[in-house]
Structures are given as C-alpha cells and as structure tokens.
Amino acid sequence: MPKEPNHPAEARKNQQQQKSTRETLRKIAPFIAPFKWKIAGLVLLTAVLSVLAMLPPLFTRAIINEVIGLRRDSLLPGLAVMMILVPILHAAISYIQIIGIAYIGQTFVLRVRMAVYRHMLGMHIGYFQKNSTGKLTNRLMGDSSVMQQILNVASVQVVSDLVCSLFAVSATLYINWRLSLPILVVLTLFVANYRFNIVKIRRAWISVRSSEDRLASGVQDRLVANLTVKTYGAEEREQEVFNSQSVALMDHLVVGWSASSNFNINTMLLQDTGRTCIYFLGCAMVLAGAASYGDVTAFTTYAMQILWPAVRFSQLAEQLQNVRISADRLLEILDAQPEVTEKPGAVRLEGNVRGQVDFDKATFWYEPGKVILRDLDIHIQAGETVALVGPTGCGKTTILSLLMRLYDVQQGAVRIDGVDVKDIAKASMRRQFGIVLQESLLFQVSIADNIRYAKPEASFEEVVNAAKIAEIHDDIDAMPEGYDSVIGTRSVQLSVGQKQRISIA
C-alpha cells in the first residue's frame, strides 16, 4: 500500500520557509529604509507609465469602431496626436525611472557591502580560520551584487504590472466577459507552475552557490601557497583538484539551469497557448456576431497586458529566489558574533606603557575538551627580553595571540601593566606591539604606506628613519620611485629578505 503524504510535516516545512523569508526581509529592511521616499517616487512614476500603457488600445478601439465604423472623421486628428504624444511621454518617464533605479540599486549594494565588510573586520581571528578567504570574498562581492536585483526595473515593474493587470481585467470584463474565462484558466496554470518549480530552483541554486564557495576557496588557497605548490612540484595534482571542483560546479549549474529552464519554458508555453486560444475564440465570436472587430482587437491587447505581467512575475519570482539565497549567505556573516568583544568604557592605553606582562593561571582551549594551556603562570617585568622556545604545537603562538587578545582565555587572566587585557580597548592595546610575522605579508600600496601601516599619521622622516633602522633604506632609495614604489607592480620585485625588513620597519 502506498504511503500517504505527511501533510502536517509538509505544512510545518512551509511555515518554516515563510518564517525564514519574513526574517530575511526584516533584516534586509534597514538597508532599504534610507531609499523609501525615492522608491515611492519611482513607484509613482511606474504607476503613471502603467496608465500611459493602457491608453493606446483604447485609441485603437476608437479608431476602428468610431472613425472607421461610424465615419466620425473629426475624431481622427485628436486621436492621432494622442497616439504620438503618449509614446514620447512614456519614453521620457521611462528614462528617468531607469536612471533612478540604477542609482538606488548601486547605492543599496554599496551599503550592504560596506556593512558586511565592516562586520568581517570586527570578527575574531578564529572566524577567518574557519571560513576561507576565497569563500568570504565570493560572498562579499558576488552575493552583494546579486542582491541588487531586489531593486531593479523588474522589481519596481511589479507595481506597474499590478496596475496594468487590474485595469486590463476590468477592461476585458467590460468588453466581453466570456473572453475573460480563458485568461482566468491560464493565470491559474501560471500559479501552479510557480508552486511546482520554485522549490526545485531554490535547492539547485543553493548547491551552485556552495560549489562556487568551495571553488573560490581552493583557488585562493593555492594561489597564496603558490611557492609551496611549485616547491613540491604539485602543479598537476592541483590542476586535477581544480578540474574536479570545476566539473562539480558545472554539474550543479546544469541542474540549476535545467530547473530554471523548465520553469521558463512552461511560463512561455502558457503565455503563447493562452494568447492563441483568446485570439481564435475572439475570431469565432466575431464570425458569430457576438463581438465586434474593435472589441476583439482591444480585448486581445488587454489580454496580453494580463499575460505579460504574469510572465514577468514568474521571471521575477525566480530572480527573488536568487536574491534570497544571496541575502541568507550575507546575513549568515552579519549574524556571526565575535568571540572577542570590547567592554563599554574600556581603558585606552595612552602615553608610556611600561610593558609588564602577567599570565595569571591562564587556561585556554580552541575547542571544548581540548585544553591547549592550563593554569599558565608567566610574569615578565618591563624591559625584560624573553624567548619562548619549544616544539611545534606547544603553545608559543597561542601565548602571543592571548597577549594581543586575538583570543580570550576561558579561565584566569592576562594583564599588561596590571590591567586585564579584557578591560583595555583593543585598538589602543595592539598599537603598542611591534610584530614581525613568520610570513611577511605586504599590501599592494606604496612602500611608504606599508611601513606606516601601524602608524598612519607617521611623517615621511619617521618612515625613512624606520627603514634605516631595519637596514632597507638603501634598497628602497635605489628603486625608480623610491618610497612611492607600489608593491606588486612589475617594477617592484622584492626578495623574501627585503619583504621581511620592510615588515620590521
């Protein structure tokens, strides 16, 4: 015996999806709120465009029935002028609408992108170890661009479509209610097509986005570690990994495009079938004397102004699914909470910091149950020079990370000059450190800007003095553009040692 569908479970699933959609919209709303009056103005323009689009069929009907049918020649000049002026006015308003929507859409994307980037910069270091750079970059740049579709011509066109549809439905019922019945049947089939396909489309494109994340992460990792790849002659192996990830993405894309194509083909088929049925039904009614030729012409035009919005809404619904997927992926970043937070009124380290460091019974773990440091007691007086020596994995880097408060201890305390680092403003504390990393990471800006990165307000004389202390001044001075040379360009090729000395400076 076949198993009956679990209707309560399906209902709960639908309720959860609706709740998720409402939650997504609630979180996106603050980004849209600053544009509410501009959007209202564009909606008003759209309504005007809708009214203008409704007029030509009435003019055509009047020409056929009144001018040609009843020989009222005096109406022709006025109707001709109106049929010329209406498209000109429609084009002018459309231009203003398109420019306005483009501005709002780009500004909206900019605000979302800045908010996500600001939040990412505020996250703790562990967040970036769990989420690859390629994945975060793909979401920051790619998904934010997709979200622009929520504010484009098609989305604002919904208002126009609603106005046109209501007007067209009223007009068709007024002209000939019998011809309206096929339209109602076709609209019902549009709704069924949407309900049947949209879930498949959403699942398919979620898989596509996940594959894109994996591919972007892999490319980022391998390009950054290019020296390691070449050192071990692993180019062919890495090419195979890239190929396999690309093929996996292509497979998901095929599934996604297949689902979208089925939806779009059904939509266009319904539109064409509906138009054909209405046309031949109208012809039959003209032959039977149940309708005039002018009525059928106007009716067919209005019928298309009902069916075309249905087509556009179907296409827009698919776009909005992509927007929702991108919004959920960006909101996943915005919802992530930093593990290292700053207390209100945190102490700022200003002036001379003596440099006394104390670890008081500090206990720390990255994952619960896997303690890295237990009851660590270290007391370093100001001015002392201390070296931490030990095998790989014993906790040397972890101790430095706790001192700089890249992580927080779970038990005990870490203090600088007797003040718990949890009570100190992070930025003011970290500016007191000078660090040379194992791998020298420089930005693609001028050498001078790289040297003054920890102190943006440093003068040029201070930059030069720091370079002399690090014994890199002569090398920089020998470059064609000196301290203005931009790292990463063809004219600036630095050795590993030169990069290290610039980092020291």
DSSP 166-216: HHHHHHHHHH-HHHHHHHHHHHHHHHHHHHHHHHHHHHHHHHHHHHHHHHH
The pLDDT of 254-272, averaged and rounded, is 83
Neighbours of 128 (CB within 10 A): 12
The reported pLDDT for the residue numbered 206 is: 84
Q: Is the pLDDT of residue 61 over 80?
A: no
Strand partners, 419: 416
The pLDDT of 453-462, averaged and rounded, is 83
The answer to whether 190 touches 312, Cβ cutoff 8 Å, is no
Among 334-343, 402-411, 440-449, name the one with the lowest average pLDDT: 440-449
The answer to whether 250 touches 212, Cβ cutoff 8 Å, is no
The answer to whether 14 touches 55, Cβ cutoff 8 Å, is no
* Confidence band, pLDDT 50/70/90 cuts, at residue 4: very low
Question: Model-level pTM?
Answer: 0.66
The answer to whether 449 touches 462, Cβ cutoff 8 Å, is no
Tokens of 380: 């370093």
The pLDDT of 174-187, averaged and rounded, is 72
The reported pLDDT for the residue numbered 5 is: 44
The pLDDT of 234-262, averaged and rounded, is 85
* Confidence band, pLDDT 50/70/90 cuts, at residue 23: confident
The reported pLDDT for the residue numbered 153 is: 54
The reported pLDDT for the residue numbered 1 is: 39
Reported as a single tens digit per residue, the pLDDT across 94-153 is 888 888 888 888 888 888 889 999 888 888 888 887 887 888 888 888 888 887 777 665
Q: Is the pLDDT of residue 90 over 80?
A: yes
Among 23-32, 43-52, 162-171, 331-340, name the one with the lowest average pLDDT: 162-171
Backbone phi and psi for residue 199, each to the nearest 5 degrees, phi listed first: -65, -40
Reported as a single tens digit per residue, the pLDDT across 103-113 is 888 888 888 88
Backbone phi and psi for residue 2, each to the nearest 5 degrees, phi listed first: -65, 150
The reported pLDDT for the residue numbered 383 is: 84
The reported pLDDT for the residue numbered 106 is: 83
The answer to whether 398 touches 372, Cβ cutoff 8 Å, is yes
User: Is the sign of the CA dihedral 329, 331, 334, 338 positive or negative?
Assistant: negative
Domains of the chain, first to last: 17-218+249-335 (1.20.1560.10), 357-430 (3.40.50.300), 447-504 (no CATH)
The reported pLDDT for the residue numbered 491 is: 62
CA distance 38 to 34: 9
Element housing 275 (H / E): helix 235-287
Residue that is written with structure tokens 């759209």 in the block? 46
The pLDDT of 169-183, averaged and rounded, is 69
Residue type, 461: E
CA distance 224 to 166: 57
**Would you call 50 exposed, middle or buried from its count of C-beta atoms within 10 A (0-12, 13-18, 19+)?**
buried
Closest Cα to residue 103, out of 167, 152, 68? 152
Q: Is the pLDDT of residue 39 over 80?
A: yes
CA distance 408 to 363: 10
Element housing 414 (H / E): strand 411-416
CA distance 186 to 211: 37
Phi-psi region of 417 (alpha: psi -120 to 50; beta: other; left: phi over 0): left
Q: Is the pLDDT of residue 3 over 50?
A: no
Neighbours of 197 (CB within 10 A): 20
Tokens of 26: 């609630």
Q: Is the pLDDT of residue 7 over 60?
A: no
Q: Which residues contact 278 (CB under 8 A, 6 or more apart)?
A: 179, 182, 183, 299, 300, 303
